[in-house]
Amino acid sequence: DAGVIQSPRHEVTEMGQEVTLRCKPISGHNSLFWYRQTMMRGLELLIYFNNNVPIDDSGMPEDRFSAKMPNASFSTLKIQPSEPRDSAVYFCASSRGSLSSYNEQFFGPGTRLTVL
Amino acid sequence: AQRVTQPEKLLSVFKGAPVELKCNYSYSGSPELFWYVQYSRQRLQLLLRHISRESIKGFTADLNKGETSFHLKKPFAQEEDSAMYYCALSNQAGTALIFGKGTTLSVSS
């Protein structure tokens, strides 16, 4: 099993451009999480899905950020328009989650986003 | 508010020395606490969780509810322990994690 797959691994874009990050969770996992890692704030939860339904998006910084999970094997995180302060490493994680108990989260390799 | 605090950004020790990575939390309810580790060029991965009460790679962590702490300890550090360590708390829904800002452990010979 390749684990959680994220693409691209690196993205460099200019301010104002749209950025789409992609994630493929581990097969059979029904919870998916998007995190952002910065030097200042560490690892922050942005949004998570259970059975393709967004459960908590309170961590999404503002309307420029949106996330979708159209099916059990794919999720996207979109930033439109991007700004330099969005530069960070974005991690996707998945688990055999339920809403009543914790299950280990498996992380992808991350996407390093640089907005110039 | 739910919060995880790791007061040290960097901890440098010599090989064979004891290690203690500090973690304090604030949470209303019964928390589930974890330590995650990220070795160089590897993915973030679970190291241990408090309910397991197990030792992984020589590391242990005890939940102290009175002091709201979950410090990670190892009696004799090894160079391969050098990594970024994150303390994390599960939220009330029981699934999403709240992370501390992480501590980089550097073990030198």
Q: Which residues of B fall within a CB distance of 8 Å from A91? A: 44
* Residue of chain A whose alpha carbon sits nearest to that of B99: A43
3-state secondary structure of B81: helix
Q: Is the pLDDT reported for residue B2 higher than 90?
A: no
CA distance B6 to chain A (A): 11
3-state secondary structure of A6: strand
DSSP secondary structure code for residue A113 in this structure: E
Taking the CA atoms of residue B94, residue B82, residue B6 and residue B47 in that order, the dihedral angle to the nearest 10 degrees is: 20
pLDDT in tens, A19-69: 999 999 999 998 999 999 998 888 999 999 999 999 889 889 889 999 999
The residue among B86 and B30 whose pLDDT is bigger is: B86
Percent of chain A topping pLDDT 70: 94
Nearest Cα to Cα of residue B100 among B18, B51, B27, B17: B27
Distance (Å, whole) CA A87 – CA A82: 9
Task: Determine whether the interchain pair A103/B95 forms a contact, defined as Cβ–Cβ distance below 8 Å.
Answer: yes
Cβ proximity of B4 and B89 under 8 Å: yes
Q: Which residues of B fall within a CB distance of 8 Å from A108? A: 43
Alpha helices of A17-84 — where are they, by DSSP H? none
pLDDT of residue A61: 86
What is the residue whose two structure tokens read 């550090």?
A: B77
A58 touches chain B (CB under 8 A): no
State the pLDDT confidence band at A101, using cuts at 50, 70 and 90.
Answer: low
Task: Determine whether the interchain pair B94/A100 forms a contact, defined as Cβ–Cβ distance below 8 Å.
Answer: yes
Nearest Cα to Cα of residue A86 among A23, A24, A41: A41
pLDDT in tens, B42-59: 999 999 988 777 888 999
3-state secondary structure of A82: coil
Nearest Cα to Cα of residue B94 among A47, A57, A101: A101
Distance (Å, whole) CA B36 – CA A103: 13
Nearest Cα to Cα of residue B99 among B84, B109, B87, B107: B87
